Chain A
Amino acid sequence: MRLRFQVTRRLEPSASMVFFVSVLSLLLAFLVSGLLFAFLGISPLEAYRVFWRGAFGSLYALSETVKRMIPLAIIGAGLAVSFQASVWNIGAEGQMLIGAIVGTWVALFSPLPPSLLLPAMFILGFLGGALWGAFAAWCRNRLAINEIITTLMLNYVAANLVLYLILGPWKGKTVRGFAYTDPFPQEVWLATIGTTRVPLMTFLFAFLAALFCYFLLTKTTFGFELRVVGRGEKAAHLAGIPAQRVVALVLFLSGGLAGIAGVGEVSGIHHMLRHPAHISLGYGFTAIIVAWIARANPLGVLASAFLFGALMSGQDALKVAFGIPFQVMYILNGLVLFFLIASEQLLYYRVTLRVAPWGEKEDECDRVLD
């Protein structure tokens, strides 16, 4: 008689299992971070308390959470579309920055009348990010260069472009040790909700973007095409789907949405162009996790964007309270990702304990203990 662990494959996990498993992985990531806090000499319980208060504890905290949710949702919705097509856009950071650059140019240097500034910022910002992303599509389609590399490299290029601009031709008139451009004219400052710092326009846009992407994926022919391209390239070819055009449009869209997020940040939050790290704040990378955790479903992205917005504002509170550096966000994100993909495997496998007599002639099926 022997006790054996047997791993059997499950066929299709139910939606509730998916949700449960996602929540479980988050909790595990938190537990492990608790260990990290302990290692740094901070009581984990105290850390959790500060974290919770920072994310949800007051109207201010909640508004900080929502403030961060907005770019995550906008970019995440675009990335959800991208991932459904198996196009790995890792360049949202750069596309966001390009949008910010274009928006800055419109606000500070363009000859447009004040009433047209804001719409121009968003439209041109979208185009800027879209073209930055489409370039990666061109590299993939024409030069057979993997888009992971292109979009990644372009991140660094964009960041350095911003640095060049704020230190060089666009250097503001008042510099206090840090470099930034002049503040934008009042006309392009986005109106906020009540006394919070949450820009109303982009807040609404986040929902719009999620709904639009969801609609695109599930109801349109293009959405069907990109899902086929993402899951069966050969079949897409035989079905006559123009895969290259689909890839280009997908990168155009997700890049453009990231660009809009960038415009939203500079016109709604900072009102100027500054150091790239302070504008992108890792939104581009975090949005990848946001889209992944939502299983590339744009509506789910709204929920996971809110979640990660909470994570970010909680982390900020930790920074202020305990002086933990901002890189702790990367640790937490990395842990969440790891637990998430590990638990994803659990979704498809069921570990059972079996009593397995070796050599006996009975039918083993009945003895499976779950």
Chain B
Amino acid sequence: MTCECQEIVAFRDITKIFPPGILANDRVSFGVERGTVHVLLGENGAGKTTLMNILYGIHQPDGGTIVLRGKEVRIPSPRVAIELGIGMVHQHFRLIPNHTVWENVVLGFPRVPRFFPASQARQMIRDLSKEYGLDVDPDARIWQLSAGEQQRVEILKALLRKAEILILDEPTSVLTPKDVERLFLVLQRMKEEGKTSLFVTHKFSEVGEIGDRITVLRKGRVVGTVPRGEADFETLATMMVGEKIVLSLPKKALSPGRPLLRVEDLWVLDDRGFPGVRGVSFEVREGEIVGIAGVVGNGQRELTEALAGLRSPLRGRILVDEVDITAWSPQKVREAGLAYVPEDRRMALVGDLTLAENLFLRDYRKAPFRRGILVDWKKVREHAEEMIATYRIVPPVPQLPVRLLSGGNRQRVALAQVLASRPRVLVVSNPTAGLDILATDFIHRLFLSLQEEGVGILLVSGDLDEILALSDRVLVLYRGTVLGERKRPQSGWSEEDRRDIGMMMGGVPGERLVMVR
């Protein structure tokens, strides 16, 4: 796509090192043309967010320069970035849940009256909303909004400050397919106005729809910059990972056995007292992986916490191997054979404690770790060494505080915590969020081997690719109910299946609803 538009932003040899020696960006150089959507593609940990944080003034580069509109600039703080016309929509929204939309949008904005700023702020927001198609109620509190709506607020923040360059960091990770469509429309409108977008993502499936040019980062280095037409998925994937990766897992078709987990008409309240799970029923059988697809915030947390014993259901029953465990405490639930690995790693691990201590944490009260009132530290250490070997945890130092481990290794610790006692049912929530491809692959293969051993796995994830790669059956959770179910055909999922499930995630029930029994 040739054009005579100039380069609005250019990175020249940007280098960034984090202690104790992590090279996050290694002489990154590429240019972004005005009025385009430029995609920055790379897997988790490739350095994309770091680079964007440098552009937005949150980090300072250790080497290299940024050229903005033809001139070398220094961006020491977000304030300067805003003055230069750069706006950023962060991956984890920078919003204040208790405040209203207008309070968030107008925060620190000088062109709003000092006293009683409310009415003018509301007007400004309504005007912008209309102009860009970003509908949102200025008086709503952020916690009341959906993820898609919250993202609109983030974009409004940047647009209000007259951003010419909009950075979007992993914007689609919390959106339904319909929200994604809406977002792309907004970006299109911005393009028409001559604004530039930097779209950071790890999902190369999105790239084709929206990107004009794509820069691929791997391990902090630029692998290449290509215009849209020139790259297909395989090329991009290879660029991202550096080797010809096998994108498919050895998923075998197994015949599932008896139901190990049965959920009957479950109703669970959320933190605000509203029903988060509304009448959900399903079962997970021996040697089966059941995937619960759905965008985060549709009841997944309430469902998994109820299963784990952290939340008492309002109504309904949970049975593990025909034993009613409804409203049992977390320890009892584990003893019954249901193991839970939470999404929030702070629930499973204690950062300041050592690897060994974390590994026996979930079983600390049981023999052989406990002798009367004392802890048998020798057994704890032996257990740790065994787990380190089995799950290939690195660095293999039992006395190391767990916060020093990488995300992938911490997830291995979290899994090792519960798998040691050979559970019958494993409930995991977003197990590979934020992990790089190799760590993700390890965990997926682990699930498959557990499946072969007869463990029933309930996989709750917002990542549709993950769900489809692993599940034998997929249920879609939307606003607390199971909107539909799909069984994996012998030949693998079809494009139609994928589309149906995607629609259900957005709330549209599929035409063919296959209900199992």
Closest to B346 in A: A234
Provide the B299-342 mask, 1 if CB < 8 A to any CB of A, else 0.
00000000010100000000000000000011100000000101
C-alpha gap A347/B460 in the complex (Å): 41
C-alpha gap A224/B369 in the complex (Å): 12
- Interface flag for B364 (CB, 8 Å): yes
Give the residue among B19, B20, B21, B346 with the most A Cβ atoms within 10 A: B19
- Interface flag for A295 (CB, 8 Å): no
Q: Are A232 and B353 in contact (CB under 8 A)?
A: yes
Q: Are B331 and A240 in contact (CB under 8 A)?
A: yes
The interface-forming segment of A5-13, A74-82, A185-193, A202-210 is: A5-13
Q: Are A232 and B19 in contact (CB under 8 A)?
A: no
Closest to B333 in A: A240
C-alpha gap A363/B26 in the complex (Å): 9
Q: Are B344 and A361 in contact (CB under 8 A)?
A: no
State which size class the interface on B falls in: 35 or more
Closest to B334 in A: A240
Contact status of A219 and B353, CB under 8 A, knowing A234-B346, A240-B331: no
Closest to B360 in A: A224
C-alpha gap A238/B364 in the complex (Å): 12
Give the residue among B72, B342, B365 with the most A Cβ atoms within 10 A: B365
Q: Are B330 and A240 in contact (CB under 8 A)?
A: yes
Q: Are B373 and A8 in contact (CB under 8 A)?
A: no
Provide the A207-230 mask, 1 if CB < 8 A to any CB of B, else 0.
000000000000111111101100
Q: Are B19 and A10 in contact (CB under 8 A)?
A: yes
Contact status of A365 and B65, CB under 8 A, knowing A232-B346, A237-B310: no
Please indicate the chain A residues that have their CB under 8 angstroms from the CB of B364 in the complex: 221, 224-225, 239
- Interface flag for A323 (CB, 8 Å): no
Q: Are A360 and B347 in contact (CB under 8 A)?
A: no
Contact status of A360 and B63, CB under 8 A, knowing A10-B19, A235-B350, A238-B330: yes
State which size class the interface on A falls in: 20 to 34
- Interface flag for B288 (CB, 8 Å): no
Please indicate the chain A residues that have their CB under 8 angstroms from the CB of B357 in the complex: 224
Q: Are A219 and B346 in contact (CB under 8 A)?
A: no
- Interface flag for B465 (CB, 8 Å): no
Please indicate the chain B residues that have their CB under 8 angstroms from the CB of A223 in the complex: 375
Provide the B363-394 mask, 1 if CB < 8 A to any CB of A, else 0.
01100001001110100000000000000000
B460 to chain A, nearest CB (A): 16
Please indicate the chain A residues that have their CB under 8 angstroms from the CB of B375 in the complex: 219-221, 223-224
- Selected from A9, A235, A356, A361, the residue in CB contact (under 8 A) with B361 is A235
Q: Are A238 and B348 in contact (CB under 8 A)?
A: yes
A103 to chain B, nearest CB (A): 29
Closest to B401 in A: A12
Closest to B72 in A: A359
Give the residue among A228, A234, A239 with the most B Cβ atoms within 10 A: A239
Contact status of A11 and B404, CB under 8 A, knowing A238-B347, A364-B17: yes
Contact status of A232 and B350, CB under 8 A, knowing A9-B19, A221-B370: yes
C-alpha gap A361/B310 in the complex (Å): 54
C-alpha gap A224/B342 in the complex (Å): 22
B412 to chain A, nearest CB (A): 16
Contact status of A240 and B329, CB under 8 A, knowing A12-B401, A231-B353, A235-B361: yes
Q: Are A361 and B19 in contact (CB under 8 A)?
A: no
B455 to chain A, nearest CB (A): 20
Q: Are B331 and A8 in contact (CB under 8 A)?
A: no
Q: Are B374 and A219 in contact (CB under 8 A)?
A: yes
C-alpha gap A236/B349 in the complex (Å): 9
Closest to B13 in A: A361
Please indicate the chain B residues that have their CB under 8 angstroms from the CB of A221 in the complex: 364-365, 370, 373-375
- Interface flag for B487 (CB, 8 Å): no
Within 8 A of B (CB), among A323-365: 356, 358-365
B218 to chain A, nearest CB (A): 19
Give the residue among B13, B331, B374 with the most A Cβ atoms within 10 A: B374
Given contacts A9-B20, A225-B364, A235-B350, 14 further A-B contacts (CB under 8 A): A11-B19, A11-B404, A12-B404, A221-B373, A224-B375, A235-B346, A235-B348, A236-B350, A238-B347, A238-B362, A240-B365, A358-B65, A362-B63, A365-B21
Task: Give 17 A-B contacts (CB < 8 Å), ordered by A residue.
Answer: A8-B19, A10-B20, A12-B401, A220-B375, A224-B357, A228-B350, A228-B353, A232-B350, A232-B353, A235-B346, A235-B350, A238-B330, A239-B364, A240-B331, A361-B64, A362-B63, A365-B21
A binding-site residues for B, Cβ under 8 Å: 8-12, 219-225, 227-228, 231-232, 234-240, 356, 358-365
